[in-house]
Chain A
Amino acid sequence: MGYRLKPKYFDDVLSALSKHYDIMAPALMPFETRHSAQEVVGYRKIESLKEIVVDKKTFFSPKEILFPPRETMFYFTDSKIRESEYEEKNKIILLRTCDLNGIERLKNMFLNNGDVKDNYFKRRFESTKFWLIECDDGFDSCFCASMNSNKADSYSTAIKFTEEDILVDSNDNMFSELFKSYGVEEDYKVSFIEKNKLEVKVPLSENINPAVFEHDIWQEYIKRCIACGRCNTSCISCSCFTTHDIIYDDNKRRGERRRVWAGCHLDNFSIMAGGHDYRTKNGERMRFKTMHKIYDYHKRFGKHMCVGCGRCDDVCPEYISFSKCINKLYDIIEKENDK
């Protein structure tokens, strides 16, 4: 059973929940501007409906809430080590289907790759509720349907913003009670996008052979890609990191070990002690990323890593389109296969 809420009552729900949760939603980021002083849409804590932006895609994904760009793992004083404490409030994240699927991809990496779980991700993930924002038509660069990530069921609450009201459907008793007291019953069930404007054809895993890795298609990116790593940082499913030790300026005996986002397009990602680097050319890095997103992650986890959010296409300063790259790869592989 769903509910229809007037905006002012939705605000009442938000303020009631704010006592226990930080509500994270797509919103304009103050003091973060890009071209012609246009404010960037990103994820931040909100308190009212009017702050929520649903007509634009966020520049960065909500992954930064569960996997911050920089996170202290532990503190040290001389040789005494103290684990970083976690005192943040529980969170509600308002996000779209592709991103919820993206968080499932992150969960595979942090909790299910190998026997050991990543406790930093786990503690954030387990104290978060996911509210799914229903998409109307999606955005121009979206291709979630092609990546089979246009549907999801692991949400706590589905939510549809209409011109006048807000429709909600919650699987969570606590939230349902709240919606019931502020809204009127309505038969609402979330609906999913079945087709995007953009269609991407993903090559079948069994048709990908070592020759594809050596194909000329990657040459183009040697020059076009400038290894800025924006595609990695904006991607909801990129989960790589590197650890760094920091010593505090005011007391050289004290410091912390942090982890920071790393990306396969960036220099130093694959460099080893002594200087040997496995991927020096930007074309090789593009190939590595592409294969991870649409081929080898699937071999390991049964789903493609790329969820088709299209942010990498939106943010690339060299206008490299990942969706076009996948389509080109598909054509090459299918042509080879027809021979």
Chain B
Amino acid sequence: MSNPYLPVEAKILSFKDETDIDRTYRIKCDIPVNGGQFFQVSLPGAGEAPISISDFNEDSVDLTIRNVGKLTTEIFKLKVGDKLFIRGPYGNGFNLAGLENKKLIVIAGGTGLAPVKNVINHFCKNRDKLKSFDLILGFKSPEDILFSKEIERWKSLIDVILTVDKGEKSWKGDTGLVTEYIKTLGIEAGPDYSVIVVGPPVMIKFTTMELLKNGISENQIIISLERNMSCGIGKCGHCKIDSRYVCLDGPVFDYIQAKNLID
């Protein structure tokens, strides 16, 4: 019987600094994955942590990692050609087919953009598969903006609102919380909408409230939850909310399913 806890090596092909503390690693990996899934990433001796897949292609996977702890500090010391250890992918991920022919709105806050980035790229490439496509991205400050080059590319293809909570005078873009920009989308209540909301818990809470006020119904909202998964396979108990395990049943949930899940 194979041991699900044993990680496999994955070579770092390249990496790119997104902000002072966020870095995207491209690792060699031909395991089939979905956007929204995660890997348990580790370095022997430093520990293991869940990291969401920010993008992928046939033989590589992108992991966007924020340097906030012991493991990530060690990962940030690695060079191209060094190896990460991975197990997974785990979780359900986004159902792209289910979003086709919809008016898709993606609202992402901070690092919440990482798990949904592949969905955005997929529909930028396949724009004809959606009736409309709007993107609202929120970050704390201009220095916290992730994937800035790609955001520029998205802007040339679809409607993107990029806002920061607070900007210095040099910031010429939008400021304020993502919730303030929902009304500018001109949502006309109807059955075609699908809205993906990803971000910190408080952002998900107020964003969904605002969406409901603007004519989106509960069954049109999809959220992705972030928890402290340790095993990734439904055993360790850290990510349980009510009767759901984020690592098995999520991290992507229909809002209707998730709204009564109390931590």
Contacts and interface: CB of A to CB of B under 8 A. Distances in A.
A304 interface: no
A276 interface: yes
A270 B238 contact: yes
Given A210-B262, A274-B66, A276-B201, A245 B46 contact: yes
Contacts of B235: 109-110, 113-114, 118, 239, 241
A240 B236 contact: yes
Given A79-B44, A255-B44, A257-B48, A262 B236 contact: yes
Interface stretch (A23-31, A162-170, A174-182, A291-299): A291-299
B245 A114 contact: yes
Contacts of B163: none
Interface string A53-93: 00000000000000000000110101101010000000000
Contact of B234 (A78, A114, A276): A114
Interface in A223-255: 239-245, 247, 255
Nearest to A112: B234
B231 A264 contact: no
A284 B262 CA distance: 10
A76 B262 CA distance: 39
A113 B236 contact: no
A257 B44 contact: yes
Contact of A299 (B68, B200, B243): B243
Interface string A272-313: 111110110000100010011000110110000000000000
Interface string B218-238: 000000001110110111111
Interface stretch (B4-12, B114-122, B168-176): B4-12
A274 B201 CA distance: 13
A271 B49 CA distance: 12
B248 interface: yes
Interface residues of A, number: 50
Contact of A242 (B72, B201, B238, B245): B238
B243 A245 contact: no
A299 B240 CA distance: 13
A213 interface: yes
A271 B236 contact: no
Contact of A243 (B3, B85, B230, B262): B230
Contacts of B72: 273
B69 interface: yes
A37 interface: no
A81 to B, nearest CB: 6
Contacts of B227: 272, 278
B83 A296 contact: no
A270 B45 contact: no
B97 interface: no
Contact of B260 (A79, A210, A241): A210
A207 interface: no
A119 interface: yes
A195 interface: no
A269 interface: yes
Nearest to B234: A114
A20 interface: no
A117 interface: yes
Contact of B7 (A81, A113, A299): A81
Closest 8 CB pairs of A and B: A240-B237, A114-B234, A76-B44, A296-B243, A299-B243, A113-B234, A278-B263, A116-B233
28 contacts: A78-B44, A79-B85, A81-B6, A81-B44, A109-B234, A110-B235, A113-B245, A117-B4, A118-B4, A118-B235, A119-B3, A120-B5, A122-B1, A210-B262, A239-B235, A240-B236, A257-B42, A257-B44, A262-B237, A262-B238, A273-B49, A273-B228, A274-B68, A276-B200, A276-B201, A278-B227, A279-B263, A291-B242
